[in-house]
Structure 1
Amino acid sequence: MDSGSIGFVLICAALVFFMTPGLSCFYGGLVRRKNAVNTMYTSVITIGIGIVMWVLFGYSLSFGTDHAGIIGGFNWIGLEGVSATEPYVEGQQIPNLVFCCFQMMFAVITPALITGSIAGRMKFKSLFLFLVLWSLVVYYPMAHMVWADGGFLAKIGSVDFAGGNVVHISSGVTAL
């Protein structure tokens, strides 16, 4: 393992993490005064929802054992068996756990991008349920298809270095 690569990826993960509270401030400034705090809260609450879901089953569904190139398996439920020393795929210079942490930040910010479109239009309970279902039905399969080893779109040549497919297209279409 390359300590420089590990440090770089962890710094990148921290920077992506800081985008979510920044996004909440941005969205809070775009809405009417009466909706500002609620809008900021909904963006920030996606941090908690995203992290808990990712650790429990999201990473496993996104990057676990391949099932028809669409979704991963349940082999890493609760991050059991995710190695802190072995890479996700051969040739990677970072441990699987560091890769998991980095990918978790995208699983956190992607639903937060959607919250700007529902400002003042959706109750919190409905939003919570929507974000859980959306992550299960849209984000985890999309992350697997594009980024995972054996993913359907990756096999046919889709290259997504900056999250254009998984993060921006999926959240943008959902927000629309």
Structure 2
Amino acid sequence: MRNVMAAFVALFALLVPTLLHAQTGFEAISAEDVADTGDTAWILVSSAFVLMMAMPGLTLFYGGLVRAKGFLAVLVQVGAIASVASVLWIMVGYTLAFGDVAGGWLGSGNAWMLLNLGNVRANTTIPESAFVLFQMCFALITPALMVGAWVDRARFGWVVGFCALWGLIVYAPVAHWVWGGGWLSTKFGTMDFAGGIVVHTTAGISALVVAMLLGKRAGFPKTLMMPHSPSLTMAGAALLWVGWFGFNGGSALAANDDAASAIINTHVAACVAALVWLVIEKFAVGKPTSVGFATGAIAGLATVTPAAGYIAPGASMLFGALATVVCYPMIQIVKKRLEIDDSLDV
């Protein structure tokens, strides 16, 4: 017992200077009026919107799509993934993604544990602490998107461990390459307004690989596995829809015309995608469904994300329509023929 107490005392002694130093950094940010208060307020609100997308938005959307026995498992997994990702983001994820550029592959370790944050994030008018918060919400929702790849097949401990490593090995490096001044943005001019590459492409490809490696559930695809609560799925989709305004609009990193344009394009793409999905369902299966409406809206939201701040509303309508035209046959035909059991159609 004494040895355990001694170990805790020693650990506390080591952490005290770090915690004090971090506290000093945050005080410096608030002491100097160098950030735009309107832009800062918008980013803080957008961060809350993105967190709402994960909890409760994603948990309800996914929870309604699975069978009843998997509902609580989905809720706990999304919550645990978000919690672990948040802690790792503060410890080391942020500095890997947005630390000082050193070679273009990974950020340097200048901001581990959020030490030495700048008063204002470079090329913005917001405190770096607000930028950290906003990007942390992206980092926590991205691995949670993959939950459908292992529903009913993976143990809880494996899920949490995999997502923790994935966030550091996959998400943080790709975020640095595209958003942190890495090689994709500097050498190739890659543009990703709000996460089409960093969030949706990384999660989508990883979910596909995991689903193929784990194999299919017993009975898939012959046994019909219906969503246990379309009502929950619709509620989750509604929260995701609203939260996406912060996801895409906040990526302007300012309360300006770019943010407003991104929100308009986001909403229009979701509307068109949802309506087109209903039309396709009417001709394909005889009647439109609530799950189809929700799925179509999410497809449109995800598809317009990388371009939300760069295009006109007319183009966003095209994005929404194409999202449905591509995603519907992939889910209803290709996935079943290839027998890829992604339970939630990530």
- Aligned alpha-carbon RMSD (Å): 1.0
Structure-2 residue corresponding to 1:42: 77
- Equivalent residue letter for 1:77: W
- Equivalent residue letter for 2:66: V
Asked if 1:56 corresponds to 2:91, the answer is yes
8 Å contact 1:58–1:140 — kept in the other structure? yes
Structure 1 residues 24-173: aligned runs within 5 Å? 24-83=59-118, 86-89=119-122, 91-148=123-180, 150-155=181-186, 156-173=188-205
2:103 partner SS:
coil
- Equivalent residue letter for 1:118: W
8 Å contact 1:55–1:78 — kept in the other structure? yes
In structure 1, C-alpha distance between the alignment counterparts of 2:160 and 2:85, rounded to whole Å:
11
8 Å contact 1:17–1:109 — kept in the other structure? yes
Deviation of the 1:88 alpha carbon: 2.1
Q: Deviations over 1:141-171 (max 9, x none)?
A: 00000001x2111112111112100000000
Deviation of the 1:67 alpha carbon: 2.7
Q: Which has the higher contact order (CA 8 A, sep 6+)?
A: 1
2:203 partner SS:
helix
In structure 1, C-alpha distance between the alignment counterparts of 2:97 and 2:197, rounded to whole Å:
14
Question: Of 49, 63, 83, which residue of structure 2 is paired with 1:15?
Answer: 49
- Equivalent residue letter for 2:152: G
Deviation of the 1:116 alpha carbon: 2.2
8 Å contact 1:39–1:120 — kept in the other structure? no
Asked if 1:2 corresponds to 2:36, the answer is yes
Structure-1 residue corresponding to 2:301: none
Higher helix share: 2
In structure 2, C-alpha distance between the alignment counterparts of 1:136 and 1:47, rounded to whole Å:
14
Gaps of 5+ in 1: none
1:10 partner SS:
helix
TM superposition outliers: structure 1 runs of 4+ over 6 Å:
none
In structure 1, C-alpha distance between the alignment counterparts of 2:160 and 2:105, rounded to whole Å:
25
Q: Deviations over 1:52-81 (max 9, x none)?
A: 000111101110122321111111111011
1:76 partner SS:
helix
8 Å contact 1:70–1:144 — kept in the other structure? yes
8 Å contact 1:110–1:167 — kept in the other structure? yes
8 Å contact 1:42–1:124 — kept in the other structure? yes
In structure 2, C-alpha distance between the alignment counterparts of 1:116 and 1:81, rounded to whole Å:
38
Deviation of the 1:118 alpha carbon: 1.3
In structure 1, C-alpha distance between the alignment counterparts of 2:171 and 2:79, rounded to whole Å:
18
Gaps of 5+ in 2: 1-34, 209-346
